[in-house]
């Protein structure tokens, strides 16, 4: 009887762990800083997560002073961003209000970066959909 109980408990625990491991991995990164340490950190995290969890859905929402991160002529990480986008490992979204305020247009963006009407609303919308939230800062 004890062996049967242990077997049932083990089966339940293993089933629970299997389900937990398959849970959605969806994270939105809030990027509003032009700090090079923050920019390097977000790229490093995206690369690490996408290697460990190929099923992860990752997005970086860029607004405010972080705009140069996604401008092809100003970004120190243009190649890494392009690779993440083209390999479908992460999405980058930039706030149109920020672009307007900083006199930037879509032609200046790294290929594949999408424009959203409002970066903060993008973040709030993802959170409502159950996405995890990370503010990129140090």
Encoded tokens for 138: 């140090």
Distance CA 65, CA 71 (A): 12
Domain range for 107: 24-135
Residue 90 belongs to domain with CATH number: 3.40.1260.10
pLDDT at 7 over 50: no
63 SS3 class: coil
Residue 55 lies in a domain: yes
Residue 30 lies in a domain: yes
Residue 80 lies in a domain: yes
Residue 7 lies in a domain: no
Over pLDDT 90: what percentage of the chain?
Answer: 81
Reported as a pLDDT band with limits 50, 70 and 90, residue 8 is very low
Residue 1 lies in a domain: no
Residue 17 lies in a domain: no
Distance CA 78, CA 95 (A): 18
Residue 71 lies in a domain: yes
pLDDT tens for each residue of 23-35? 799 999 999 999 9
Task: Look up tokens 């800083």; give the residue.
Answer: 33
Q: What is the pTM of this model?
A: 0.82
Q: What is the pLDDT of residue 40?
A: 96
Domain count for the chain? 1
């Amino acid at each position: 009887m004890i062996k049967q109980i242990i077997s049932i408990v083990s089966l339940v625990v293993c089933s629970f762990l299997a389900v937990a491991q398959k849970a959605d991995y969806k994270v939105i990164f809030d990027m509003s800083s032009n700090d090079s340490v923050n920019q390097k950190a977000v790229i490093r995290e995206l690369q690490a997560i996408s290697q460990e969890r190929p099923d992860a859905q990752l997005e970086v929402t860029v607004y405010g002073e972080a705009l140069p991160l996604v401008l092809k002529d100003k970004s120190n990480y243009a190649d890494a961003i392009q690779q993440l986008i083209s390999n479908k490992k992460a999405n980058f979204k930039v706030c149109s209000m920020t672009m307007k305020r900083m006199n930037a247009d879509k032609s200046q963006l790294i290929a594949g970066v999408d424009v959203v009407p409002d970066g903060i609303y993008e973040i709030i919308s993802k959170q409502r959909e159950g996405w995890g939230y990370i503010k990129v800062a140090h």
